[in-house]
Structure 1
Amino acid sequence: MARVFEFIKDITDRKDLWKITVKVKDKWNATKEGKDFFQIVVVDSKGDDIFVLVPNELKQKFENEIPITVNNTYTMQNFQVTKNDDQFKPSHHEFKLRFTGGTLVEDVNVHQIADPVAKFKSFGDILNGDFREDYLYDVIGLVDEVGYQQPHYGNRKVQVNFILRDLGNNVINCTLWENYALKFFNVQNKANEGPTIVFMKYAKVKHAGLLTGNTFNIVSLAAGIESGTITNVTETPSQMMSQSSGGSQFTPYTAEQKFTHNAEVMPLSKIVQLAEDTKCVTVVDTVKIKPNKSGWYYLTCYKCPKQCFGDAPPYRCIDKHETETEIIRYKMDIEVAAGDVKATCVFWDRECAQLLGISASDLRAEMLGIGITNHLVYPVQMDEITGRTIAVKLKWQVKWKTGSVMAIHDGADFVNEIQSSFPPGDGPQGNLIKSDKTIAKSEPYGEIDPFFAHKYSDELDDE
């Protein structure tokens, strides 16, 4: 009598003679102790999956004689069944399977098994600690902010840190490494003004945030909501975001909504009276640059956003990371005003580059080209920063009595909209000055990386 088909959910180690019909969900190669093998995750008609290891001695057989391919269906039977005790588990099944010399694989694409549906881990669960660090999860979200970037190979791995947001406005910190980071940079460069949605399969979750490793992860990205389906997924990014957040319709923030998100809109006169650190949006006139002993730029660490010190490489930050090459970033104290109220705001690399239309490294190269090496000599281009009326998103820091600028916007309609919410006399007195270098939506200018040193401003010299 032939053995009947059974379901993945019923598999235990009470026997090895299981017979299942499955579709190959994912496959990847691996190496251990110099021996190559491959691993797969298979799913059955009920949507349950299980992790399968094909050892080195069977690798050629199941790649050439009976090739196992993603999205194909098979009948598989006879395995070694053991506890799923791997450090990181792409399947949450209690057990895992290993092919043996007695494993039989046949009936290629005979069975009709639907494509597996992604089971997204909600951001709420992650933030509430409702996850296991040994489980790998599927995660999807909208890129809300991009932080530290290492886009090129050098002293360390290629890396990008960013924040993902879901439909419920929950946010988690994420890191992509090497090939996945390069894929992210490629999509970001093509995104123009559209949002970027990231879909990560088999992501590692930690209490400090969400990180992806380099063993199991499959990262799909979509630039723009109308970009179509994501690789290996039959739903559009919008549909997947809705599924991940309980069916809500996905509507991305406009640039203006994102600008004011998680910030209080108030005039500068109210900001300077705040008793605690607060994120604010306001409208100001840029009055003048306030020179200080740090000059108009500084060296930053390749590994973190902190300032580096030294007259020659290797430069070192306060965490003692060593940086072999000069990474130049803007940092300038600028006096701003609204009516009779004045304050000092720290403008960081991204915002200065947007106002000037040139990166700090390129401007310094111009200065070196004319023989000026002193960082206390402010280029004449700096004059373009003053005399502007702009909307700023800043973090008012009570300790320093300064605002750390997080984003800027010079759109006349948006500036007027923000200013119209202020009491009479609380707004800037100057007219909006437009230049050929439009700031747009606080997106990076050219090849300038978004920079998040403003989040660490207490660690930099503000004297």
Structure 2
Amino acid sequence: MQNFKVSNNDFSFKSTTHGYKLVFCGSTYVKKTELPEIPIDYFNILGLASIADGKFQPNVLVDVVRGVTEILQTQINSDNNKSKFVFMITDMSKIVVQCTLWGNFALQFYEYYKNHGEDVNIVVLLQNARIKAAQGGFPLNVSNAWSGTKLIINDISNVEIKKLKDSLNAELPKLSSSSLQVETTQTSQYSDFDKFIWKAEVISLAEIAMLKQETTCVTIAKLEKFEVGNSGWYYDGCAECTKSVAVKDGKLKCYANHISSEPVPRYKLEVLGVDGKFKSHFVFWDSDCFKLIGKSALQMKNELVEAGEDNPLEFPFGLDAMLKKELAIRAVFQPKFNRLSVISFKDDEDSRKKVKDTFKSHEDVSKIPISLSSSQDDMKSLSEPLSVSADFDPNAANSVMTPCKRINPEASEDVESVQLSSTKTMKPVKKEDGR
């Protein structure tokens, strides 16, 4: 690996405690090399005794290989990917800990359990799992992370699974798929607006500037202008999922190793939002951009090509449909990077009024100047994962397009933000639009 950057390992969640991380940039070169002394499959396995004793770091992802002793809850809702599978796990220490799988991982476990007959022993390996300490009425729990987790079930070709399965085979209970009780998600009693503000702080941009930790919040902002970086207004996405793609081993692959014949353009736009004299940057993703603009990124790109513009960084005039709109926005804020990653939005007057009515008074902070940093470090927020938590919101909106919470995993070279409005040169498109 050549021509890369080295920076502090400051991810909110990480699979290693190493102090530094290697960052890919535009000139990075990587070559596959055979190094037999370095194992390809390396597991950082943490025993249940250490987990039960609290000897873990909540922000460090670990590997857990354990036998399943009891199924507690099965809730399947494939329509909005809010499935949940809760069971108890144990190891040779005989300690029992609760494990919760969410989303696709819950469906994967459910399908295996349902299709493998009666009286089976199950051993699972959860790579890059998150551990949550007991809090309030919630017990100590092992769960999948938002991204990066891998679930392996009863694969005896895996050394760790075979070792534990052999040692626990006589002691693990036989689980029967016929006794599985599956819950279906009931219709929510909450209003659409209640779901929109679910588990979020309803605060103004002025109050957001005072936050000291990552927070899910609902606020009001008027979209003023685009902030331009070196990644343009879209990214090349996978045809099967919403991750970005790159050429690997001669094939176009995403981080989930899906192979695409050609990339699918997906929106990724950073917009300056204003509320009075307070400002902040919002990162809008594919699904929300499509709702605001009314055209897919592929349609927009094709229109540019038809107009004779082949510069992928050129912002088409059609994107302006997003601007000058006042929205109620649900987003995740990271004070370290001064960015809000948009989860969803509402543009009706009733929702905006309700949000404004619930704002806390910010008279004491109204005179605090908001500094919009344009430093290179700020741009890291576009590639920094905001959260890997598997705490799915049971009422959050779902989209078959880009998941709004996900942050583009690929880092890009850092550039300073510049104004777009005074640099547009798309006169052919402008004439077609009647400007």
Q: Could you state the TM-score of these two structures normalised by the residue count of structure 1?
A: 0.45
Structure of higher RCO (CA pairs closer than 8 Å, 6+ residues apart): 2
Q: Which has the larger Rg?
A: 1
More strand per residue: 1 or 2?
1
Q: Could you state the TM-score of these two structures normalised by the residue count of structure 2?
A: 0.47
